[in-house]
Chains A and B, each alone.
Chain A
Amino acid sequence: MMQQVATDTDAQPAVLAMDCKLNRIFYGNFLAVRDSHVPIEKNKITGFIGPSGCGKSTVLRSLNRMNDLIEGFRFEGHVQFIGQDIYGKGVDPVVVRRYIGMVFQQPNPFSMSIYDNVAFGLRINRYKGDIGDRVKHALQSAALWDEVKDKLKASGLSLSGGQQQRLCIARAIATQPQVLLMDEPCSALDPIATRRVEELMTELKKDYTIALVTHNMQQAMRVADTTAFFSVDISGGSRTGYLVELGPTSQIFGNPREKLTKDYISGQFS
């Protein structure tokens, strides 16, 4: 299938934080994702939607080389980021992950104090400045400061699920990465906590670029500037994910070009 990359019809060309050409992604012999070109605009939220198993997480985790930890993972393609290919020769995946942060589906604070959780990345990076300042700033940006400022020594695990997830966001942004990858960050949260995290994402895009996987189409509509719709190709007996359509969120939900997209967003296909 032809892939379609939406070009902003109005005004100036978009500034890209990342340009991801995912030709083929394998787990062992299994081709999980093919032929997807996903540009990620700077200071925007790019939402990834699509049926379960279509490879949204696989794509997201390929963008900071988290998948390198999985045995059998193989990537063909290029991911351009600050002027170089993160899959290029001599690029250390560990360093890539320091620039491109990640927030996971399940809140996963470390079993250490709230303060140490947020300071963790700074210490790993041997940050020379005032760690306390950065921790406070990150917690403020993650809209958590007021709730935890009196108990920074308490364990990160003592917080509620929604607070834990905001703690994980604070931890991820404390080192000020350029891009934040978020894999269904609200799926373990109740509606109120979900709203808070969504508001937070909209706040954060002033300073960060966000790629967001979500199962919740309302969420994509609420927060994503650009939406990428993935689907599964089951021809040939295998299940290979690919990008069907990518464009401004309003266009994807209001006027999709592809029939598959239309069927999916109108709920005829899960």
Chain B
Amino acid sequence: MNETSLPESTPSLQRKLEGRALRSMLLSILVWISAILTSIPLFSVLYMLSTRGGARLNWEAFTELPPAGFEMGGGFGNALVGTLFMVGIASLIAIPLGILAAIFLAELGPNSKLATIARFSAKVLAGVPSILAGVFAYATVVVTTGTYSAIAGGVALAVLMLPIVVLTAEESMKMVPKIMKDAAYGMGCTHTQVIWKIVLPTGMPAILTGVMLAIARASGETAPLLFTALFSNYWLIQDGRLDAMNPTASLAVLIYNFSGMPFDNQIELAWAASLVLVIIVLIINAISRIFGKPKF
């Protein structure tokens, strides 16, 4: 007897195999099409922005203040500074707070009541429309300080970033292999040492990916800034003095304002500012990919 003979090829087996090959090919085509469809919006947006906004992307755009009414020229320098400043404030609040909260959720009391509540709140917060973050900052910062400000805008963006940081950082820390933590305990580490010397550094690339996503998200938000930072036609830093307690410009709000104006100059600037915003987001995403290589 032949030991390694294949089953005899019968017509019915033949049909089955052909059917399988056909289904597999159809599925491949389907996923290809889906992948192409998914990338169409990004590439068409990039194409449109560079054709319409590329021309105004010059030195002046980055260094000048926004033009008023029928003025020609001008730029969005103060809006770029405002966006960077407010995203910076938001990061200063949301990143440390989010990572510390994630340490609690992942390591200190993963099954505690507090953790369950915090995790649930973060998930809800992550899904809440972004304008509500603005409402929150309006009620807490604008109302109490009596002014629209960069600080209020930063707080609103922090509220948006916080759940993203918390949830991704918790996930990242939970992915650190248990055998790695066991090794540290086996060397005589305390729980605190295991957290700071093993869990955090090992999870850091993945944590940074989440942080970058949160920053990218905050950079482009308009709604939370509309009634927290408002807008301004002046520089955030004037004569060497930082003015964080007055209305502040941002790229997102500038785009929102200018795109609706009946002046070609402003509309062109809105396109250019959009291009800058998308480039910022792309750069942040690229950085997060560099960091994001898992370390284990």
Contact = CB atoms under 8 A, between A and B. Distances in A.
Interface of A: 64, 66, 69, 94-98, 101-102, 104, 106, 108-112, 120-121, 124-125, 155, 157, 168, 171-172, 175
B199 to A, nearest CB: 11
B183 A95 contact: no
Contacts of B183: 102, 104, 108-110, 168, 171
A112 B295 CA distance: 9
Contacts of B187: 97-98, 101, 120-121, 124, 171-172, 175
A177 B233 CA distance: 68
Contacts of B202: 110-111
B296 interface: yes
Given A104-B179, A124-B193, A111 B296 contact: yes
B296 A157 contact: yes
A94 B188 contact: yes
A180 B197 CA distance: 23
A211 B296 CA distance: 29
B295 A157 contact: yes
A121 B201 CA distance: 16
B68 to A, nearest CB: 55
A171 B187 CA distance: 9
10 contacts: A66-B186, A69-B185, A97-B186, A98-B187, A101-B187, A104-B182, A121-B188, A124-B193, A155-B295, A168-B183
B190 interface: yes
Contacts of A96: 188
Interface in B148-189: 177, 179-180, 182-189
B57 interface: no
Most-contacted residue by chain B among A104, A108, A124 (CB, 10 A): A108
A112 B202 CA distance: 8
Contacts of B190: 94
Interface in B270-296: 295-296
B198 interface: yes
Contacts of B193: 124
Contacts of A110: 180, 183-184, 198, 202
Contacts of A69: 182, 185
Contacts of B201: 111-112
A54 B177 CA distance: 26
B186 A64 contact: yes
B188 to A, nearest CB: 3
B188 A124 contact: yes
A66 B187 CA distance: 10
A64 B189 CA distance: 13
Given A124-B193, A157-B295, A157-B296, A111 B188 contact: no
A64 B198 CA distance: 20
Most-contacted residue by chain A among B180, B184, B187 (CB, 10 A): B187
Given A104-B179, A110-B180, A120-B184, 18 more contacts: A64-B186, A94-B190, A96-B188, A102-B186, A104-B182, A106-B179, A108-B177, A108-B180, A108-B183, A110-B198, A111-B201, A111-B296, A124-B197, A125-B188, A155-B295, A157-B295, A171-B187, A172-B187
A64 B187 CA distance: 10
Contacts of B295: 111, 155, 157
B197 to A, nearest CB: 8
Nearest to B188: A98
A177 to B, nearest CB: 9
A187 to B, nearest CB: 13
A65 B188 CA distance: 10
Nearest to B202: A111
A156 B197 CA distance: 15
Contacts of A111: 180, 201-202, 295-296
